[in-house]
Amino acid sequence: MDYTYLAYTKDKQLVKGKLSAASEEAAAKLLSYGGYQLVSLKKYVPFFNFKKLSASFSRVKSTEIIMFSRQLALLLESGADIVTSLELLQSQVTNRSFQGVIGEVASDIRGGSSLSSALKKHPRVFSQIYHRAISAGEKGGNLEVVLRQMADFIERGFTTQKRIKNALTYPGIVAFVAIIVIIVLITFVLPTFTDLYTGFGVELPLATRILIGVTDWFASYGLYLVLGMVAVAGLGFLYIRTPKGKYQWDTISFRLPVVGRLLLLGELSRICRTMSLLFRVGLPLPEIMAMVISGTNNKAMAEALSGVQHELIRGEGLSKPMGNRRLFLPLMVQMVGIGEETGNLDNTLATVAQSYEMEADDKTSAAIGLIQPAVTVIIGLVIAFIALSLVSAMYSIYGQLSG
């Protein structure tokens, strides 16, 4: 970290300059050892910091956090101190943004900060759950174990998101290509044929007349249709960004056919995994609930969790308040009740999360298996209708002209 200073030399001359040090106290000691009488010392803030600017646009990937956590746990287990371990990891990381973050964390620890407090200063890289779990590990003396648990926790979420993304990629590409092909046919190809057919002045088949009508309508009103769709989408997006709109959208999303169940299972499995992890590292349930609430982006789920938290604080337990809310599925409510009775809540929550993840995987695979043939059938029907319209028009024109 850089500091600017104003000081007197041994000859009573006033000098100013800049130096690098781990903390303000370390900078003051360096100046004192150099024979300077310090007047003022301030952190240097450049007008234009290219490193921070580039870091703000670069993102630290989940895989990098996973690897960092596991390597740090391994180094600590081997007997290395935390600062040495961080410096070694900083030299191995290829992401410059992450390098800077690790360097700042190491610098804060040299200045007397704890690891969790140093991580807390970088919320874009280390989540609240991460640094709170690390804090619990520091207090419990099992930091290495907690680091590995956090790595597993992040990896599960990353793997689930990647699997869903990969499964949806192929149907998405097929659907996009199909839309582009249909737009090109309607915009450029079909008008040429319709002008040719109408020029003969003969009665065309019904399918051809429908195709000509659709083509003419898109030629006349297609731009207005696109603008209208963009306007509706824009207004909808702005409304969803309001608190009321976000809550309504999140509530509706859980009720959508097929997709709604997948979204609910994904949200509940993530909540169960988070609660299991934080309960395992020793955090109290009210604090766990507060972190789970702040960690969800779904307003409907956050409201349900807040209600559970309030009733939990009043002494009504966890399973009973969950049972009074429809968003929490029966299996979760039952297993939480069993966990409360047996004192094994972390394992029961992990079991529920695994069960929901397996169900979500099965339903996702089934949905993807239906999407692919459905898209293929729709494309085939559209192209078949266009081909039938053009061919039947040719035969009709030939028959009427020859007759």
Q: How confident is the model at residue 57 (pLDDT cuts 50, 70, 90)?
A: low
> Do 224 and 242 reside in the same domain of the chain?
yes
Q: How many CB atoms lie within 10 A of CB 29?
A: 12
> Do 223 and 315 reside in the same domain of the chain?
yes
Identify the residue with better confidence: 164 or 116: 116
> Do 227 and 361 reside in the same domain of the chain?
yes
Q: How confident is the model at residue 74 (pLDDT cuts 50, 70, 90)?
A: very high
Predicted confidence (pLDDT) per residue in 331-374, tens digit:
999 999 999 999 899 899 999 988 998 888 888 778 777 777 88
> Do 168 and 290 reside in the same domain of the chain?
yes
Q: Which domain holds residue 266?
A: 156-403
Mean pLDDT estimate for the chain: 83
> Do 13 and 83 reside in the same domain of the chain?
no
The pLDDT, as a whole number, for residue 3 is 78
The pLDDT, as a whole number, for residue 305 is 93
Predicted confidence (pLDDT) per residue in 233-279, tens digit:
999 999 988 989 999 999 998 888 878 888 898 889 889 988 998 88
Average pLDDT score over residue span 282-297: 87
The pLDDT, as a whole number, for residue 1 is 63
Q: How confident is the model at residue 168 (pLDDT cuts 50, 70, 90)?
A: low
The pLDDT, as a whole number, for residue 217 is 83
Average pLDDT score over residue span 162-191: 75
User: The domain spanning residue 141 has which CATH number?
Assistant: 1.20.81.30
Residue at which a domain ends, from 108, 125, 154: 154
> Do 382 and 289 reside in the same domain of the chain?
yes
